[in-house]
Amino acid sequence: MVQRGTRAGILLATLAAVVAGAAGLSVLLAPPAAAAPEGRVVVVGVPGLLWSDVDREGTPALWGLVEDGSSAALSVRTTRRLTCPSDGWLTVSAGQRARLPNGSCALPATPATSGAGVPRGGAVAPGWPAIVKDNAGTGYRAKPGLLGDAVHAAGGCTLAVGPGAVLGLADGSGRVDRYAGSPGDVRSADWAACPVAAVSVDDVFRAHVDAGVDADGDPVEVGPDERAAAAAAADREVARVLAGVPDGTTVLVAGLADASADPHLHVAAAKGDGFGDGYLTSGATRQEGLVTLTDLTATVLRELGLEQPDAAVGSVWRGEPTDDSAAEQVEALDDDDVAAQGISAVQTSFYWVLFAAQLVAYGAAALALRRLGGDRRSRARILGGTRVIALFGGAVPAATFLTGLLPWWRASNPTVMLVLTVLGFGALLTGVSLAGPWRRSVFLPGLVITAVTASVLALDVMTGSNLQLNTLMGYTALIAGRFYGFGNQAFALFAVAAILTAAWLSEFPLRRERKAVAAALVAVIGVVAVAVDGLPAWGSDFGGVLAMVPAFAMLGMLVTGRRVSPVKLAAFCAAGAVVVLGISYWNAQSDNPTHLGRFWKDLVAGEAWSVVVRKFNAMIGSLGYWPYTVALIAAVVFLFFVLARPTRWRVSLLGRAYEHSRTMRPAVICALAVGLIGMLVNDSGVVILSVAFSLATPLMLAAGLRSLEIDLNAGTEAPVPAEARAGSTGRPSAERS
Cα gap 584→594, rounded to integer Å = 9
Whether the per-residue pLDDT at 37 is higher than 90: the answer is: no
Cα gap 510→476, rounded to integer Å = 42
CA 445 to chain centre: 32
Cα gap 337→100, rounded to integer Å = 26
Q: How high is the pLDDT of residue 22?
A: 38
Q: How high is the pLDDT of residue 451?
A: 97
Predicted confidence (pLDDT) per residue in 113-142, tens digit: 998 889 999 999 999 999 999 999 888 899
Beta strands in 425-557 (DSSP E): none
Predicted confidence (pLDDT) per residue in 464-500, tens digit: 999 999 999 988 899 888 899 998 899 999 999 999 9
Pairing of strands 175-176, 318-321: unpaired
Q: How high is the pLDDT of residue 426?
A: 96
The contacts of residue 522 (CB under 8 Å, 6+ apart) are: 502, 503, 506, 552, 555, 556, 559
Predicted confidence (pLDDT) per residue in 569-609, tens digit: 899 999 999 999 999 999 888 877 888 888 888 788 777 77
pLDDT > 70: percent of the chain: 85
Contacts 24+ apart (CB under 8 A), 101-107: 101/127, 101/130, 101/131, 101/134, 106/209, 107/163, 107/164, 107/202, 107/205, 107/206, 107/209
Whether the per-residue pLDDT at 727 is higher than 70: the answer is: no
Cα gap 620→686, rounded to integer Å = 9
Lowest mean pLDDT among 148-162, 418-432, 687-701: 687-701
Q: 488-505 and 542-559 helices cross at what angle (nearest 10)?
A: 20
Q: How high is the pLDDT of residue 735?
A: 37
**Given pLDDT bands bounded at 50, 70 and 90, which one contains residue 155?**
very high
The contacts of residue 398 (CB under 8 Å, 6+ apart) are: 425, 426, 429, 449, 452, 453, 456, 457, 493, 497
**Given pLDDT bands bounded at 50, 70 and 90, which one contains residue 629?**
low
The contacts of residue 357 (CB under 8 Å, 6+ apart) are: none
Q: How high is the pLDDT of residue 625?
A: 56
**Given pLDDT bands bounded at 50, 70 and 90, which one contains residue 708?**
confident
Give SS3 for 47.
coil
For every residue of 167-219, DSSP letters joined together read HHH--TTSEESEEESSGGG--HHHHHHSSEEEEE--HHHHHHHHH-B-TTSPB
* Single-letter amino acid code for the residue at 663: T
Cα gap 360→356, rounded to integer Å = 6
Q: Is the dihedral of CA 509, 512, 513, 517 positive or negative?
A: negative
**Given pLDDT bands bounded at 50, 70 and 90, which one contains residue 378?**
confident
Say how many C-beta atoms besides its own lie within 10 A of residue 221's C-beta: 15
Whether the per-residue pLDDT at 105 is higher than 90: the answer is: no
Predicted confidence (pLDDT) per residue in 496-516, tens digit: 999 999 999 999 999 999 999
Whether the per-residue pLDDT at 551 is higher than 60: the answer is: yes
Domains, in order of start, for the chain: 41-323 (3.40.720.10), 336-736 (no CATH)
Pairing of strands 278-281, 318-321: antiparallel
Whether the per-residue pLDDT at 71 is higher than 80: the answer is: yes
Q: How high is the pLDDT of residue 75?
A: 97
The answer to whether residues 688 and 680 touch, using CB atoms and an 8 Å cutoff, is no
Predicted confidence (pLDDT) per residue in 300-331, tens digit: 999 999 999 989 999 999 999 999 999 999 99
| Half-sphere CA count of 442, side-chain side, radius 13 A | 30
Kindly list the distances between the CA atom of residue 143 and the CA atoms of 123, 170, 197, in Å, as whole numbers in the listed order: 19, 11, 19
The answer to whether residues 158 and 191 touch, using CB atoms and an 8 Å cutoff, is no
Kindly list the distances between the CA atom of residue 259 and the CA atoms of 48, 256, 339, 394, in Å, as whole numbers in the listed order: 5, 10, 19, 40
Q: Please name the helix (run of DSSP H) or strand (run of DSSP E) that holds residue 74, with its range, or none.
A: strand 70-75
Predicted confidence (pLDDT) per residue in 174-203, tens digit: 999 999 999 989 988 889 999 999 999 999
Whether the per-residue pLDDT at 620 is higher than 70: the answer is: no
Say how many C-beta atoms besides its own lie within 10 A of residue 570's C-beta: 11
**Given pLDDT bands bounded at 50, 70 and 90, which one contains residue 633?**
low
Give SS3 for 443.
coil
Say how many C-beta atoms besides its own lie within 10 A of residue 239's C-beta: 16
Radius of gyration (C-alpha) of the chain in whole angstroms: 31
The answer to whether residues 545 and 580 touch, using CB atoms and an 8 Å cutoff, is yes
Lowest mean pLDDT among 424-433, 527-536, 619-628: 619-628
Q: What angle do CA 291, 135, 298 make, to 5 degrees?
A: 30
**Given pLDDT bands bounded at 50, 70 and 90, which one contains residue 207?**
very high
For every residue of 267-315, DSSP letters joined together read EEEEEBTTB-SEEEE-TTT-STTEEEHHHHHHHHHHHHTPPPPTT----
pLDDT > 90: percent of the chain: 58
The chain-wide mean pLDDT, for the chain, equals 86
**Which is higher by pLDDT, 711 or 161?**
161
Whether the per-residue pLDDT at 731 is higher than 90: the answer is: no
Lowest mean pLDDT among 156-165, 329-338, 639-648: 639-648
Cα gap 658→656, rounded to integer Å = 5
Q: How high is the pLDDT of residue 3?
A: 42
| Half-sphere CA count of 332, side-chain side, radius 13 A | 17
Q: How high is the pLDDT of residue 649?
A: 56
Whether the per-residue pLDDT at 527 is higher than 80: the answer is: yes
Q: How high is the pLDDT of residue 29?
A: 38
Whether the per-residue pLDDT at 732 is higher than 50: the answer is: no
The contacts of residue 543 (CB under 8 Å, 6+ apart) are: 488, 491, 615, 678, 681, 682
Whether the per-residue pLDDT at 261 is higher than 70: the answer is: yes
Say how many C-beta atoms besides its own lie within 10 A of residue 121's C-beta: 14
Q: How high is the pLDDT of residue 276?
A: 92
For every residue of 364-375, DSSP letters joined together read HHHHHHHHHTT-
Phi and psi for 159 in degrees, rounded to 5? -120, 120
In the 8-state DSSP scheme, what is residue 49?
Answer: -
* Single-letter amino acid code for the residue at 428: L
Say how many C-beta atoms besides its own lie within 10 A of residue 173's C-beta: 15
Burial annotation 504-535 (CB, 10 A radius, 16+ → b, else e): bbbbebbbeeebeebbebbeebbeebbbbbbb
Whether the per-residue pLDDT at 369 is higher than 90: the answer is: no
Q: Please name the helix (run of DSSP H) or strand (run of DSSP E) that holds residue 147, with its range, or none.
A: helix 146-153
Phi and psi for 676 in degrees, rounded to 5? -70, -50
The answer to whether residues 595 and 540 touch, using CB atoms and an 8 Å cutoff, is yes
Give SS3 for 691.
helix
Q: How high is the pLDDT of residue 650?
A: 58
Q: How high is the pLDDT of residue 628?
A: 60
Q: Is the dihedral of CA 322, 328, 331, 335 positive or negative?
A: negative
Contacts 24+ apart (CB under 8 A), 213-220: 218/261, 219/259, 219/260, 219/261
The answer to whether residues 234 and 135 touch, using CB atoms and an 8 Å cutoff, is no
The answer to whether residues 599 and 577 touch, using CB atoms and an 8 Å cutoff, is no
Q: How high is the pLDDT of residue 432?
A: 96
Query: Average of pLDDT values for 54-69?
Result: 96
Give SS3 for 580.
helix
Cα gap 451→499, rounded to integer Å = 10
Phi and psi for 288 in degrees, rounded to 5? -65, 130
